[in-house]
Amino acid sequence: MFAQLAPSPSPSPANLSHFVYRRSFQKPTLAVSASLPTATSSRPPIQIVGGKDLNLDATRKGDSIGFTLEPNEEEIDWMNLESDIRLWTRALRPVQWYPGHIMKTEKELREQLKLMDVVIEVRDARIPLSTTHPKMDAWLGNRKRILVLNREDMISNDDRNDWARYFAKQGIKVIFTNGKLGMGAMKLGRLAKSLAGDVNGKRRAKGLLPRSVRAGIIGYPNVGKSSLINRLLKRKICAAAPRPGVTREMKWVKLGKDLDLLDSPGMLPMRIDDQAAAIKLAICDDIGEKAYDFTDVAAILVQMLARIPEVGSKALYNRYKIQLEGGCGKKFVKTLGLNLFGGDSHQAAFRILTDFRKGKFGYISLERPPL
């Protein structure tokens, strides 16, 4: 089993279901044994990122107590991982980002939503649960909705299929896209037109002239909204860059004669209460860099990757030639800084985060569908 953290507070019921899902992997097991620090041990407890000194939880084998760190564990309990992320983030500076342009446009966006025939919500396919606004359902009401999971190239086919089944059970139309290469963009345009196809039928019945279908594209910062619009239009109309906060004003653009698209700034809640979700936003570059400490976020990412079977501690060692001692991500980042960057932990953290964001660890999803 993985080295488990000390028992952590149970997540709230609203978040509990996010990580009940399990998947099995058949990989060679690489076990690394270590002695367990106890209350009377002279060894200091291992410090996990988050600022707390935490004793590793014991796993019982018969009458003996001990633990074994297995980077290639065949099964991962995502609910326990989520609980541990919450524990790790508890003592860190909260990740919060609410720049002025979001505050300014949120009210305007809610007004524009009333004019839309269909709403296209874009999320990050690596963290679909963390990249939806908590007020989204209230804003949309019964309005027709298409869910886009962008960056499909960064998750596995298994994850893609799992999420497709999960949203299909909820009756939500979901499309997987790659905004950079344009995959899925044309399908999205056709679906938006078909869902709102009855608009002009109702107008004709009232004696009104037909008009273009209005579709609003909304979502968190840097999930790829503007890139999708540019792919639909086959030209660069909306400013797009791989960082949050590029789009600062709403802009209507026309796609042919029968579809109008609204590009909007990324919308975040004024306060992010779920700090496990906030950390994942930082890891995936879906929130402004000023909102978080690079070293803390990279350390938590290392601890997460060590627990995910597709990566594990062995893959971290193969890439950086550093052992993950005691599951401590903060020590890992510091050691990488000493080895490669003259002691600069910030640069080491930036390297780890960049490697993840560029897919250097493979197709990695940081969330799984609830059961």
**Residue 12, C-beta contacts closer than 8 angstroms, at least 6 positions apart:** none
DSSP type of residue 54: -
Asked whether residue 21 carries a pLDDT value surpassing 50, the answer given is no
What are residue 92's DSSP bridge partners? none
pLDDT at residue number 35: 36
pLDDT at residue number 331: 96
Task: Tell me the C-alpha distance between 45 and 174, whole Å.
Answer: 46
pLDDT at residue number 5: 39
pLDDT at residue number 75: 55
Across 282-303, average pLDDT: 94
- Give the DSSP per-residue string, 133-177: -TTHHHHHTT-EEEEEEE-GGGS-HHHHHHHHHHHHHTT-EEEEE
**Which of these ranges, 43-47, 120-124, 307-311, 331-335, has the smallest mean pLDDT?**
43-47
Asked whether residue 65 carries a pLDDT value surpassing 80, the answer given is no
Task: Tell me the C-alpha distance between 169 and 166, whole Å.
Answer: 5
Task: Tell me the C-alpha distance between 5 and 57, whole Å.
Answer: 5
Asked whether residue 340 carries a pLDDT value surpassing 50, the answer given is yes
Confidence of residue 51 (pLDDT cuts 50, 70, 90): very low
Across 337-359, average pLDDT: 96
Confidence of residue 153 (pLDDT cuts 50, 70, 90): very high
Q: Which residue did the predictor score with more confidence, 125 or 79?
A: 125
Tokens of 272: 């992010």
Asked whether residue 158 carries a pLDDT value surpassing 80, the answer given is yes
Q: Which residue did the predictor score with more confidence, 9 or 348?
A: 348
Write the pLDDT tens digit of every residue in 25-41. 444 333 333 333 333 33
Across 4-25, average pLDDT: 41
Across 75-87, average pLDDT: 84
pLDDT at residue number 235: 63
Whole-number mean pLDDT of the chain?
77
The answer to whether the CB of 73 falls within 8 A of the CB of 309 is yes
Across 64-90, average pLDDT: 66
**Which of these ranges, 45-54, 235-244, 276-285, has the smallest mean pLDDT?**
45-54
| Angle (CA) 121 116 212, round 5° | 115
Asked whether residue 248 carries a pLDDT value surpassing 70, the answer given is no
Helical H segments across the chain, by residue range: 13-16, 78-89, 100-113, 136-140, 157-169, 185-195, 198-205, 225-233, 275-283, 294-307, 312-320, 329-340, 345-357
Write the pLDDT tens digit of every residue in 96-113. 877 666 677 777 888 888
| CATH 3.40.50.300 domain residues, the chain | 99-263
Burial class from Cβ neighbours inside 10 Å (0-12, 13-18, 19+) for residue 230 reads: buried
Share of the chain above pLDDT 70, in %: 74
Asked whether residue 76 carries a pLDDT value surpassing 90, the answer given is no
Across 229-253, average pLDDT: 63
Tokens of 63: 């009458």
Task: Tell me the C-alpha distance between 211 and 111, whole Å.
Answer: 20
pLDDT at residue number 9: 43
Q: Which residue did the predictor score with more confidence, 186 or 33?
A: 186
Nearest to 105 by CA among 255, 318, 268: 268
Asked whether residue 68 carries a pLDDT value surpassing 70, the answer given is no
Task: Tell me the C-alpha distance between 221 and 266, whole Å.
Answer: 4
pLDDT at residue number 43: 33
pLDDT at residue number 73: 42
Task: Tell me the C-alpha distance between 97 and 335, whole Å.
Answer: 29
Asked whether residue 74 carries a pLDDT value surpassing 60, the answer given is no
pLDDT at residue number 319: 96
pLDDT at residue number 101: 64
Nearest to 365 by CA among 184, 170, 130, 122: 130
99-263: which CATH number, 1.10.150.20, 3.40.50.300, 3.30.70.330, 3.40.50.10310?
3.40.50.300
Q: Cα dihedral sign for 125, 127, 133, 137?
A: positive
